[in-house]
Structure 1
Amino acid sequence: MALHPEIAKVVASLPAPPPGPLDPEAMRAGEEAMVPPLEERLPLHSVEDTTAQTPAGDVPVRIYTPVDAEAYGLLVYFHGGAFFLGSLDTHDHVARSLAKETGLKVVSVGYRRAPEAAFPAGLEDCSGVVRWAAENGQQLEWDDTTLAIAGDSSGGTFVAAVAALAHDEGFDRITHQVLFYPSLDLDFDVDRYASLRENAVGYGLETAGLKPFNAFYLSSGADPADPLVSPIKRADLTGLPPALIVTAEHDPLRDEGELYGQRLKEAGVDATVSRYAGAGHGFVQHFSWIAAYHRVFDETAAFLRGES
């Protein structure tokens, strides 16, 4: 189907990018300026900022408790932003919706970003917080059952990489992985996937923008041939946690996400691929106020409950 009319309106209103190289500080400031005030955010039982002590160092985290209960399943969330954008604040609304709709306690990770932090700093932070959550289950009131990881876009890259690292290191506590329109192949040859050409222009994220947006991460030492950078390049996908992979019809990254889901299934992993019609990249972050796309949180909740 065509791009959803509400999304199309926004895409049509986007200004042309400024000339010259990308300015991370200016782009971050622009994102932060769009964050709504606290009183306009979805209310939950509690939202707490704290620090996770990990082997990679102290990592800021924000803990979302949906309701008052004796114990909770846990979901560790990695925000998107091409490895250099995004923050606990810009994705606060996503974490709140995940907590509300899943009923899980959500731990959102303020990992280190490129270009200031070289690869694999951000990945180490995400992996370390997952271990920290498991090791501090009593403090987090964990019910010792669900320990899911979820992320959007580059956060989805981290989800796949963290799941692979955990498997290789014998850490078997991760129960589910949820990837929203993930970036899984940082080799941006336009002939690798049909969606890179089909959705190249006019849908928000454009194929020509992939290289410059990810350049900060790649220039920091992230090698696209490394399966921890491009998880689709991992040869053996057996033994990974059950996966929900959400893709968007009009996303240049659509096909790599769907191929990854297919490869997981072929490796014997319980994997569900769910394509959202009329959507473009970033719809969970930017357009989940549209009912057709807010249901992604319901689908996530059903997956985590074992209903899909």
Structure 2
Amino acid sequence: MPLHPEIARILAAMPAPPPGPLDPVALRAADEAQVAPPEERLPLHAVEDTTVRTASGEVPVRIYTPAEADAYGLLVYFHGGAFFLGSLETHDHVARSLAKETGLKVVSVGYRLAPEAAFPAGLDDCHAVVRWAAGERAGLAWDGTTLAVAGDSSGGNFAAAVAAKAHDDGFDRITHQILYYPSLDLDFDADRHASLRENAVGYGLETAGLKPFNAFYLDSGADPADPLVSPVKRADLTGLPPALVVTGQYDPMRDEGELYGERLRAAGVEATVSRYEGAGHGFVQHFSWIPEYHKVFEETRDFLGRR
């Protein structure tokens, strides 16, 4: 199907990006300016900001409790933003929808960003918060069942990398990995995946923009050949948690996500790959108010409920 008409209308009205090098400070400010005021956000039983003390420092987190209960399944969420954008605020609406639809307590992670924090600072923050969430001292009333990791775009990269790192470390409590249009291959050769050519121009995120947007992360020491940087390059995927991989029809990064799902299945891992027609990159963050795309939260709920 063609690009969804509402997405096409909004993209057509967007101004061209300013010329010259990317300014992370200005781009972050522009992102934050789009955040809805607190009174317009989806209400939940409780939303609490706190700090997790880890071996590498303090990590801000926001905890979303959908309803009052004695114990909860947990979902630890990593926001997207090409490793240098995004925050607890810019993705607050995503975390709220995840909590409401899944019934899980959601922990959103305010990990350190490039270029100010060199690789693997952000990944280490995400991994440390997952380990913290499973501990009794976290005070999250985890019921010992579901412990999912989830993320969109670069956050999906972190979710896959955390699941792999935890597996290698012998930490086997992660039960699911949920990847929304994940950035899993940071080698940006345009011939590497067909979707990089097919969806190169006109759908919001463009193939030519991938390298400069991810340069802050790569220049900080992240090697695209490292499976913790490009999780699709991991040689052995056996033993990883079941995965839901969500992609968009018109996303340049569509094929790397779908390839990861195929490789997981070939390794004996339960993996569901779900392509959303008419959608480009970022639709969970930017267009989940459209009913067809809000269903991604229901699909997430159903995926979590199958185990």
> TM-score, normalising length from structure 2?
0.99
What's 1:173 paired with?
Answer: 173
Instruction: Kindly tell me the number of residue pairs found equivalent between the two proteins.
Output: 307
Secondary structure at the residue paired with 2:277? strand
Secondary structure at the residue paired with 1:250? coil
Deviations 1:169-218 (A, max 9, x none): 00000000000000000000000000000000000000000000000000
- Are the aligned partners of 2:248 and 2:278 in contact in 1 as well (CA < 8 Å)? yes
1:293 aligns with 2:293: yes
- Once residues 56 and 184 of structure 2 are traced to their aligned partners in structure 1, the CA distance between those partners, rounded to angstroms, is 24
What's 2:148 paired with?
Answer: 148
Deviations 1:105-151 (A, max 9, x none): 00000000000000000000000000000013661011111000000
- Once residues 150 and 8 of structure 1 are traced to their aligned partners in structure 2, the CA distance between those partners, rounded to angstroms, is 27
- Are the aligned partners of 2:132 and 2:138 in contact in 1 as well (CA < 8 Å)? no
- Once residues 128 and 194 of structure 2 are traced to their aligned partners in structure 1, the CA distance between those partners, rounded to angstroms, is 35
* Runs of 4+ deviating beyond 2 Å: none
In structure 1, give the amino acid aligned to 2:246: V
After TM superposition, give the deviation of residue 57 of structure 1 in Å: 1.5
What's 1:305 paired with?
Answer: 305
- Once residues 136 and 84 of structure 1 are traced to their aligned partners in structure 2, the CA distance between those partners, rounded to angstroms, is 32
List alignment gaps of at least 5 residues for structure 2.
none
Over the residues paired in the alignment, what is the CA RMSD in angstroms?
0.8
Deviations 1:58-99 (A, max 9, x none): 100000000111111000000000000000000000000000
In structure 1, give the amino acid aligned to 2:119: F
- Once residues 145 and 138 of structure 2 are traced to their aligned partners in structure 1, the CA distance between those partners, rounded to angstroms, is 13
- Once residues 54 and 74 of structure 1 are traced to their aligned partners in structure 2, the CA distance between those partners, rounded to angstroms, is 19
> TM-score, normalising length from structure 1?
0.99
- Once residues 110 and 5 of structure 1 are traced to their aligned partners in structure 2, the CA distance between those partners, rounded to angstroms, is 33
1:158 aligns with 2:158: yes
- Once residues 158 and 10 of structure 1 are traced to their aligned partners in structure 2, the CA distance between those partners, rounded to angstroms, is 29
- Are the aligned partners of 1:137 and 1:144 in contact in 2 as well (CA < 8 Å)? no
- Once residues 296 and 250 of structure 2 are traced to their aligned partners in structure 1, the CA distance between those partners, rounded to angstroms, is 16
Identity of aligned residues (%): 79
Deviations 1:138-169 (A, max 9, x none): 61011111000000000000011000000000
List alignment gaps of at least 5 residues for structure 1.
none
- Once residues 136 and 288 of structure 1 are traced to their aligned partners in structure 2, the CA distance between those partners, rounded to angstroms, is 34
